[in-house]
Structure formats: structure tokens, C-alpha cells
């Protein structure tokens, strides 16, 4: 069983344009769902499994995010400032890598989260990591586990866990916004602003992109209408627990 990574990158620099007008005055990660900001769902999940250090990139209404996380005692948070230039998901991680230990780390989106059924999903994800065969291990959700996402899928998964791109087949899975990544996958990536899809495709080409199927419910809030749907699922989940 692999050890749980003690460091993480959380992507919180997006503009949240589909969530307007809410995000005209509140950054998307701080939009409250189920009684707390989405960012706190993510940071609480990392704290629960013992992550000690989080690197958080910021851009849109960054001052609000900085003020919010300054109130937390754990995990320790370092801000990666993208106010001058938004670097997209891949470029945002690349900027942070020199500050990190050269070891596998969690990568989480700040605007998607999940409801664990028993053991934390991040612990289970870590126990699946195999440094010999993997460069990236993605947490995946079945479409029926998802709220607020729609029918589109991202990856096909072989029985052993290796991933390929999904051409929107019904048998595909959704990338659930959480992963374990080894820094080596960035060694030959594009520099500057770019999407993490560059790294996903590089790992696929080497046969080193794997996926693990999460437990429980996965939620994403991309539009104002999706907030109510997410809160309904949270209430139902808590009542059945």
C-alpha cells in the first residue's frame, strides 16, 4: 500500500464565468454549497487524510481567497499568485513545481467535491498508486454518481485501470477533479499557459495514465441552477448516513 501524499496542489484560479452573476462578486471556489464554500470541501478532504502542505493558485478575486484561507490552521497553504497571468491548469501546476518536494502529490480542483461513503476517497486513491507503472492516477466517477455534470464522459478504463480518451461512449467515466501525479510527467510538457490535457495525453501515450473509481457521490457546480441540485443530494446523503 502506498503512503498518502503529504503535499497537494489545488486549482482555484478559474474565472467561473458560467456561474455568473454570482461570480461577479465572489470567486467560484468560495461559493457556498451545503453550508460551506466549495474550497473548504476540498481542503477539509485533504486535511482529513493528513496532507500537510497545499499550494493554491489564485487569479479571479484573489484577495477574497487569500483572506479566507488565512483563517485556516490546517493544512499549511502557500498561495501561487496568477493575478497578472492566468496560466490554465497545466501551467498553474508547472509554476508551483519548483516549490514542492519531487514526490507524487495530490491535485484537486477547487470547484468539484464528493461525499465519501466510508473510508475517504483520497485514502483509497493513494492505496491504489503504483509508482512503477503510473505517472498519473485519476479519480473517476460513473455518470450516475455525478450531480451537475451532464452526460459527457472523459475516459475509457481497461480492467487493470489504464485509461484512454472516451469519445463520449456510455461506458466512459468522468474525471472527478482529483488525482495523484508524479512531477516527472511535466519534464517535457509545454511551458507557460496550457491545459493539463497536455500531461494527460503524454501519460496516455506512455501507457502510464490510470484511473480509480470513486465511492459515494460526486458534485460539480457550474451554473447557479446546479447549486440547488447539489444541496438536495447533500441533504439526502446526510439523511441516509
Is 149's pLDDT higher than 90? no
- Domain parsing of the chain, residue ranges: 7-240
- Tell me which of 187 and 216 has the higher pLDDT: 216
Task: Identify the CATH homologous superfamily for domain 7-240.
Answer: Spore Coat Polysaccharide Biosynthesis Protein SpsA; Chain A (3.90.550.10)
The string of pLDDT tens digits covering residues 64-86 is: 999 999 999 899 999 999 999 99
pLDDT, tens digit, 9 for 90 and up, residues 25-42: 999 999 999 889 999 999
pLDDT at residue number 32: 93
Residue 22, pLDDT score: 84
pLDDT, tens only, 87-124: 999 999 999 999 999 999 999 999 899 998 889 999 99
If one compares 236 and 208, the residue with the highest pLDDT of the two is: 208
**What percent of the chain is predicted at pLDDT more than 70?**
96
pLDDT recorded at residue 151: 66
For 168-212, what is each residue's pLDDT tens digit?
A: 676 799 999 999 999 999 886 567 888 999 899 999 999 999 999
In this structure, of 69-78, 144-153, 210-219, the range with the lowest mean pLDDT score is 144-153
Alpha carbons 123 and 214: distance in angstroms, whole number: 11
Amino acid at each position: 500500500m502506498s503512503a498518502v501524499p503529504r503535499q497537494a496542489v489545488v486549482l482555484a484560479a478559474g474565472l467561473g464565468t458560467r456561474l455568473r452573476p454570482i461570480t461577479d462578486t465572489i470567486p467560484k471556489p468560495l461559493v457556498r454549497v451545503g453550508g460551506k464554500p466549495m474550497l473548504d470541501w476540498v481542503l477539509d478532504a485533504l486535511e482529513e487524510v493528513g496532507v500537510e502542505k497545499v499550494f493554491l493558485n489564485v487569479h479571479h478575486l484573489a484577495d477574497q481567497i487569500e483572506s479566507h484561507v488565512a483563517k485556516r490552521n490546517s493544512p499549511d497553504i502557500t498561495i501561487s499568485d496568477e493575478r497578472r497571468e492566468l496560466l490554465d491548469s497545466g501551467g498553474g501546476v508547472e509554476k508551483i513545481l519548483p516549490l514542492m518536494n519531487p514526490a507524487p502529490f495530490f491535485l484537486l480542483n477547487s470547484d468539484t467535491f464528493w461525499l465519501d461513503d466510508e473510508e475517504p476517497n483520497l485514502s483509497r486513491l493513494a492505496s491504489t498508486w503504483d509508482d512503477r507503472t503510473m505517472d498519473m492516477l485519476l479519480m473517476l466517477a460513473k455518470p450516475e454518481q455525478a450531480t451537475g455534470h451532464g452526460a459527457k464522459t472523459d475516459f475509457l478504463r481497461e480492467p487493470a485501470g489504464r485509461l484512454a480518451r472516451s469519445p463520449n461512449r456510455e461506458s466512459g467515466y468522468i474525471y472527478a477533479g482529483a488525482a495523484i501525479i508524479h512531477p516527472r510527467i511535466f519534464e517535457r510538457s509545454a511551458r507557460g499557459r496550457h491545459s493539463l490535457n497536455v500531461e494527460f495525453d503524454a501519460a496516455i501515450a506512455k501507457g502510464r495514465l490510470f484511473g480509480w473509481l470513486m465511492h459515494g457521490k460526486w458534485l460539480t457546480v457550474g451554473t447557479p441552477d446546479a447549486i440547488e441540485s447539489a444541496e438536495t443530494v447533500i441533504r439526502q446523503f446526510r439523511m441516509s448516513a
